[in-house]
Amino acid sequence: MRLHNLSNVKGAVHRRKRVGCGEGGGHGKTSGRGGKGQTARSGGGIRIGFEGGQMPLFRKLPRRGFNNKNFKVYYETVNVGELSKLDDSVTEVNRETLVAAGLVRANDKPLKILGEGELSKALKITADKFSGSAKEKIEKAGGEAIAPEAPAEEAAAEKAPADEASE
């Protein structure tokens, strides 16, 4: 037995329901939508959770817990393979260079370089973050990966030596 020999069991395949084609077909007049009203109209219907105007359950229940979605950081990403498409005259890569090349959009999202692809030329790349493999590939090609540190990290770095000196 092969796939082309298989056939459906009797009764498994149904005809398409032809609505609005006269009373004799069984789906005429209202076309299976019942009487008048919101659900009878095209595009009509009530949303999920609607309880006929009664206060819905999802609004009665208290909101609890913590959701990290509000604090998620979205990055503009570029793979190192895409950086090799830049002109040979370019040696320093930053957000402005990438926007001009059409690799990222001009917005306020931080920039992250990812490691997919290969890099053959030495580039000095400035971005907010680098993946481990991207940093490795950039340095292997003879380039430099520069990530400006956040102010909180700098403050922690300055505070650490002061604590050791007081001991």
Domain assignments of the chain as residue spans, ordered by start: 72-149
Q: How far is CA 69 from CA 54, 73, 131, 152, in A?
A: 30, 9, 22, 21
Q: How far is CA 58 from CA 47, 63, 69, 157, in A?
A: 13, 9, 20, 47
Pairwise pLDDT comparison (87 vs 161), residue with the higher score? 87
The pTM for the full model equals: 0.54
Tell me the mean pLDDT in the region 138-151: 86
CATH number 3.50.50.60 is the correct assignment for the domain at 72-149: no
pLDDT in tens, 35-56: 999 999 999 999 999 999 999 9
Q: What is the pLDDT of residue 55?
A: 96
H helices of the chain, where?
A: 57-60, 80-83, 95-101, 132-140, 151-166
CA-wise closest residue to 113 among 104, 100, 101: 104
Residue 99 near residue 71 (C-beta atoms within 8 A): no
Q: Which helix (H) or strand (E) holds 126?
A: strand 124-126
**Residue 94: how many other CB atoms lie within 10 Å:** 13
